């Protein structure tokens, strides 16, 4: 079996050690005997959208996100079509914002987003920084997730959109409505930045299983591996967020 | 004019006396007294740095960088001491404006006149514009900018922007020194007409062809297109050129060549200045310490100090607080290597690889404010390269589990890992797992280092008098 991962803009969107998520996906494939291909696509390089099961976008500096924003617009709708066809996508922090409808800066200028997520972001006054924990309903399965957030943009979901989870401790999408992130089909946007996947082993499992199903059909099953160390790190992160 | 600048003697005397009283009181209260007194005065008097530092006969030197400012500052101090100069210095960690003010006030007589000849201050990257504005320095040494604790400092580009404005505001009499190999820093040299000096490494054998993962500033500082690198020395430091606009690394006037490394014991290189070439023997390991020594040498050169003091000062140098400290604990050799951010950690990893054989490690990851609350950065460290050489790793600190997990994903077998958040216990276990003839490498973040020193002081017998090494 094989899973193909497209890492979009790794040179520009890598501010919070986003590489940790890629390392995590690759290792989890290896441990299960699944072949894994990770291809990187920087500015001006367009993937063959149908060839990949998993797309990843990290966070970047403001200046770099602007460059990516223009490039993404020029890429056309390939990424959206891939997601509509069931491909998995994880977009973190800046990547999450870029895939929304728009970003409105403090000066009132509007930057058009891809519109893959039915959500929009406006510049906030206060930076949301700290450990964050949430309760997530992943297709009927309750998951506790934790990570670190650092963003000034406030993201609002359109009516009827499903958040990744409910904030237990921390700020989340906008520090107002208790939501964190978004789920649309197999695409997830979140402010839990950088290496979110290693300590959220059940989320990793979920995303990889969806990737397998994307490639091999609905009967494909991902075998389990032990994740005691991961759970221990998660428990500590949840505890720190609650403090 | 004078009465605007110079306040009445009784007022200044009262402030200096207050600062000294606060320093003594905070010392008694168990604090180090390195920042509080200046903070008290600075709170009531914004101009105190300028008013005291202007009387220093040899002026002030400011040193700033993401990595290496404490070590470089200590190297410059040793070189200045060899010239017989009396130096007013801030202690490491106390590197905001209040820390600089404290150092100046502690040094001053009751009339507010410094007793020392020269001021030498390490300055926090974020605080640089404020301190530079207040003290009109004789020399400003700008060494490097790497991604650091994002939750504290924000984006690297924001720090760079602050540095640019600081450089533009420097007076015409200030000597500004830049690291030519860091494109983000070197580009700032173009913001000044004259009195700039660049230093760098000229030794392609000391670098690599592949960039480390935690690298920043891959894009041209002038036009935004990707740089081409002939060589990478450390992170994004190297020999670079922009194929689009032609901007390239400035030629350094002071450089190191013929680098030779001898593991943990140190390195040798030839220091070339416009006046002479001196062979330098440095008792600290790693390329990053060559950069520190080179920066110190460039600073000494700008101050008109001859090569003999530079050579001797560097040869006799011993590590600053927790940076490559070597000691013997319970009969076992221990090397403590502070790790604060991906670039610094990568250099420590690279230095470990210069020592042959399997390694016994204690990795201590805290997430207190001084360490950075966000521990994401350990995933930007290339731990994969050292993983095959790890014989045993105890992880300690508030994020011991996260560190162990990072090692697992780097390829370390879980049976070699032990998670022990309590640092005293972690140290005990790490020593137990280290063989009689082996070395234990301790890699702590900042507050973990402080806690470990305390543990060493309380629980173990060592070859060194730890009084001055322990956080008081």
> Domain of A111: which CATH number?
3.40.50.880
Sequence-separated (6 or more) residues with CB below 8 Å from residue A19: A10, A195, B213, B379, B380
State the pLDDT at residue B325: 81
H/E element holding B274?
Answer: none
pLDDT tens digits, residue range B154-185? Answer: 778 889 999 999 999 999 999 999 999 999 99
Angle subtended at Cα B84 by Cα B83 and Cα B89, rounded to the nearest 5 degrees: 95
Contacts of B233 (CB under 8 A, 6+ apart): B181, B201, B206, B207, B287, B291
User: What's residue A107's pLDDT?
Assistant: 85
Residues 196-235 of A with CB under 8 A from B: 198-199, 229-230, 232-233, 235
Residues B423, B366: Cα–Cα separation, whole Å: 10
> So what's the pLDDT on residue A219?
96
Q: Nearest by CB to B379, which of A11, A195, A233?
A: A195
Q: What is the pLDDT at residue B432?
A: 96
Q: Please give, rounded to a whole number of angstroms, the shortest distance from the CA of A3 to a CA of chain B.
A: 18
Residue B334 and residue B326 in contact, taking contact as beta carbons nearer than 8 Å: yes
Residue B32 token pair: 């180090």
A93-98: average pLDDT = 95
**Residues on chain A touching B408 (C-beta within 8 angstroms):** 229
Q: Which residues from A are below 8 Å from B376, CB to CB?
A: 16-17, 20, 148, 193-195
Positions of A marked active-site: 93, 193
d(CA B466, CA B458): 10
Using the predicted structure, report yes or no on whether residue B323 has a pLDDT greater than 90.
Answer: no
Range of the domain at A57: 2-242
> What does the alpha-carbon distance between residue B244 and residue A16 come to, in Å, rounded to a whole number?
28
Per-residue confidence (pLDDT) for residue B31, from 0 to 100:
47
Nearest to A74 by CA among A100, A34, A108, A44: A44
Residue range B178-219, pLDDT digits in tens: 999 999 999 999 999 889 999 999 999 988 877 766 566 678
How close does chain B come to A115, measured CA to CA in Å?
26
In this predicted model, what pLDDT tens digit does every residue of B292-310 receive, in sequence order? 999 999 999 999 999 999 9
The ipTM is 0.96
Tokens of A200: 């959220």
pLDDT score recorded for residue B469: 44
| Interchain pair B151, A11: CB under 8 A | no
Closest CA relative to residue B334, chosen from B352, B364, B361: B361
What pLDDT was estimated at residue B4?
Answer: 39
Q: List CB contacts of B304: < 8 A, sequence separation 6 or more.
A: none
- State residue B220's pLDDT score: 86
In chain B, where are the structural domains located? 55-103+114-315, 323-459
Contacts of B465 (CB under 8 A, 6+ apart): none
DSSP labels, A167-220: EEES-TTTSSSSEE-EEETTEEEES--SS-TTT-HHHHHHHHHHHHHHHH-TT-
Task: Pick one of 3.30.70.1400, 3.90.600.10, 3.40.1190.10, 3.20.20.70 as the CATH number of B55-103+114-315.
Answer: 3.40.1190.10
The angle subtended at Cα B240 by Cα B269 and Cα B213, nearest 5°, is: 85
Instruction: Tell me whether residues B157 and A230 touch, CB distance under 8 A.
Output: no
Any CB–CB contact under 8 A between B150 and chain A?
yes
> Is a pLDDT exceeding 50 seen at residue B1?
no
Specify whether the CB–CB gap between B93 and B367 falls below 8 A. Answer: no
Asked if B102 and B39 touch (Cβ cutoff 8 Å), the reply is yes
What is the H or E stretch that residue A93 is in?
A: none
- Whether B406 has its CB under 8 Å from any CB of chain A: the answer is yes
Q: Which residue of B has its CA nearest to A60?
A: B155
Q: Give the residues across from A110 on adjacent strands.
A: A104
Q: What is the mean pLDDT of chain B?
A: 87
Instruction: Report in angstroms the alpha-carbon separations of A31 from A142, A230, B91.
Output: 25, 14, 48
A19 touches chain B (CB under 8 A): yes
Please answer yes or no on whether B150 and A15 come within 8 Å at the CB atom: yes
Q: Which residues of B touch A62 (CB under 8 A)?
A: 155, 157
Q: What kind and span of H or E run contains B136?
A: none
Does any CB of chain A come closer than 8 Å to the CB of residue B155?
Answer: yes
Q: Pairing between strand B237-241 and A141-157? A: unpaired
Write the DSSP symbol of residue B144. -
Which CATH architecture fits B323-459? Alpha-Beta Complex (3.90)
Distance of CA B213 to the CA centre of its chain: 21
**Worst-scoring range by mean pLDDT, A71-80, B29-38, B138-147, B364-373?**
B29-38
Q: Which helix (H) or strand (E) holds A145?
A: strand A141-157
């Amino acid at each position: 079996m094989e899973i193909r991962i497209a890492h979009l803009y790794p040179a520009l969107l890598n501010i919070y050690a986003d590489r940790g998520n890629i390392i995590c996906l690759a290792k989890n494939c290896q441990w299960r005997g699944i072949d894994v291909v990770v291809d990187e696509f920087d500015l001006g390089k367009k993937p063959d959208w149908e060839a990949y099961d998993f797309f990843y976008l990290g966070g970047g500096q403001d200046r770099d996100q602007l460059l990516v924003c223009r490039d993404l617009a020029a890429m056309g709708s390939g990424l959206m079509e891939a997601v509509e066809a069931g491909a998995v996508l994880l977009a973190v922090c800046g990547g999450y914002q870029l895939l929304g409808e728009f970003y409105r800066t403090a000066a009132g200028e509007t930057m058009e987003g891809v519109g893959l997520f039915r959500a929009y972001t406006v510049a906030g006054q206060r930076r949301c920084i700290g450990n964050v924990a949430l309760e997530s309903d992943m297709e009927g399965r309750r998951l506790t997730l934790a990570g670190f957030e650092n963003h000034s943009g406030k993201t609002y979901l359109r009516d009827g959109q499903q958040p990744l989870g409910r904030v237990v401790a921390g700020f989340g999408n906008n520090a107002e409505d208790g939501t964190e992130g978004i789920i649309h089909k197999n695409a997830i946007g979140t402010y839990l930045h950088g290496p979110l996947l290693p300590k959220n082993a059940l989320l990793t499992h979920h995303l990889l299983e969806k990737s397998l199903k994307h490639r091999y059909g609905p009967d494909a099953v991902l075998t389990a591996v032990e994740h005691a160390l991961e759970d221990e790190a998660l428990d500590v992160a949840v505890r720190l967020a609650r403090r | 004019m004078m009465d605007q600048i110079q306040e009445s003697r009784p007022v200044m005397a009262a402030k200096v006396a207050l600062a000294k009283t606060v320093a003594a009181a905070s010392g008694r209260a168990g604090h180090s007294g390195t920042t509080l007194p200046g903070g008290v005065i600075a709170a009531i008097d914004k101009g105190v740095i300028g008013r005291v530092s202007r009387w220093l006969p040899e002026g002030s030197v400011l040193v700033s960088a993401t990595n290496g400012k404490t070590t470089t500052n200590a190297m410059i101090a040793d070189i200045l001491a060899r010239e017989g100069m009396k130096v007013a210095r801030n202690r490491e960690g106390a590197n905001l404006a209040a820390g600089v003010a404290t150092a100046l006030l502690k040094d001053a007589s009751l009339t507010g006149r410094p007793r020392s000849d020269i001021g030498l201050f390490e300055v926090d990257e974020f605080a640089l514009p404020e301190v530079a504005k207040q003290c009109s320095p004789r020399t400003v040494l700008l060494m490097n900018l790497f991604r650091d604790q994002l939750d504290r400092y924000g984006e690297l580009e924001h720090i760079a922007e602050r540095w640019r404005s600081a450089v533009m505001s420097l007076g015409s009499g200030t000597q500004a020194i830049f690291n030519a190999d860091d494109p983000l820093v070197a580009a700032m040299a173009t913001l000044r007409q004259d009195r700039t000096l660049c230093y760098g490494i000229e030794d392609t054998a000391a670098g690599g062809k592949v960039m480390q993962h935690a690298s920043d500033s891959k894009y041209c500082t002038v036009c935004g297109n990707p740089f081409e690198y002939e060589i990478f020395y450390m992170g994004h430091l190297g020999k670079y050129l922009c194929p689009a606009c032609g901007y390239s690394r400035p030629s350094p006037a002071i450089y190191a060549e013929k680098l030779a490394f001898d593991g943990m014991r140190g390195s040798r290189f030839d220091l070339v200045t416009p006046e002479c070439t001196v062979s330098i023997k440095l008792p600290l390991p790693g390329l990053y310490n060559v950069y520190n020594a080179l920066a110190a040498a460039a600073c000494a050169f700008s101050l008109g100090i001859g090569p003999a003091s530079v050579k001797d000062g560097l040869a006799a140098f011993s590590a600053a607080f927790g940076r490559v400290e070597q000691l013997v604990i319970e009969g076992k050799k221990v090397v403590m290597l502070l790790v604060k951010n991906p670039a610094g950690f990568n250099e420590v990893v690279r230095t470990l690889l210069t020592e042959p054989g399997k390694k016994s490690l204690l990795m201590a990851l805290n997430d207190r404010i001084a360490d950075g609350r966000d521990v994401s950065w350990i995933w930007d460290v290339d731990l994969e390269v050292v993983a095959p050489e790890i014989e045993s790793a105890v992880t300690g600190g508030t994020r011991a589990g996260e560190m162990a997990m990072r090692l697992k994903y780097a390829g370390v077998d879980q049976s070699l890992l032990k998670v022990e958040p309590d640092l005293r216990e972690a140290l005990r276990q790490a020593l137990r797992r280290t063989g009689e003839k082996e070395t234990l490498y301790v890699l702590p973040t900042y507050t973990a280092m402080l806690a470990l020193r305390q543990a060493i002081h309380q629980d173990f017998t060592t070859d060194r008098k730890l009084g001055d090494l322990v956080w008081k």
